[in-house]
Amino acid sequence: MSSNAPASSGRGSGGRGNGGGGGGGGGQQLEEYPVNAKTTHLNHGHTSHVVVAGGEMLYLKFASKADCQLFRSLLQKMSGKVNSVFNLRTEDSSASQYFQFYGYLSQQQNMMQDFVRTSTYQRAIYSNSQDFHNKIVLDVGAGSGILSFFAVQAGAAKVYAVEASNMAQYAQQLVHSNNLNGKITVI
């Protein structure tokens, strides 16, 4: 397969396709979309994938997890992209457990009650407030959002707090309760 190989998608009739009939698809046409290194795509659960190709966003749903994984590996090869070391070394269940662990309120509480840890982060941010003043800050793995709050207190113009676990809803509640909706956006 070349790096400009087409991805195919079955669509109802009326789509712009170049599948010339055959196969008796009951009014279905086969459409082809070029896939290369610039093709945008992302995982959507265990059995579906989203691909942006040919100016269209395609939502692809697979019959099984194995089919979806096969598609993803072929898409990676066709687009010239390789899996990250994280993806190669990490089972889906392991990543899920990681986010579940940090999503527990008790785990966040343990980290925030670690005075040495929390005060060291706070001191580091406050001591370098010139690096935060009127800046846009991205807090990845924000958890409860404590570092986002420190960044705002150090003068950040805006903070985007990215949290993949359930903790995001609690971080949002803290932002709202502290009237910082205009300063901190939880994603």
pLDDT in tens, 75-128: 877 766 666 676 666 666 666 666 666 666 777 787 778 899 889 999 999 999
- Residue 115's CATH number: 3.40.50.150
Look at 68 and 3; give whichever has higher pLDDT. 68
83 plus 110 within the same structural domain: no
Which domain-ending residue is among 48, 63, 89? 89
Report yes or no: 41 and 52 within 8 Å, Cβ to Cβ.
yes
Instruction: Please tell me the predicted confidence (pLDDT) of residue 27.
Output: 65
CA angle 42, 44, 49 (to 5 degrees): 60
CA distances from 178 to 23, 38, 92, 147 (A): 62, 41, 35, 14
Q: How do residues 10-47 score in pLDDT, each as one tens digit?
A: 443 333 444 444 444 556 777 787 777 777 777 877 88
Instruction: Say yes or no: 82 and 157 in one domain.
Output: no
Task: Please state the domain count of the chain.
Answer: 2
Averaged over 141-148, what is the pLDDT? 92
The pTM is what?
Answer: 0.51
User: H or E element: which one contains 74?
Assistant: helix 65-79
Question: From CA 120, how far away is CA 158, in angstroms rounded?
Answer: 22
Whether residue 96 contacts residue 71, with contact meaning beta carbons closer than 8 Å, is answered with no
Q: Which residues constitute the domain of residue 12?
A: 6-89
What's the pLDDT band for 7 if we cut at 50, 70, 90? very low
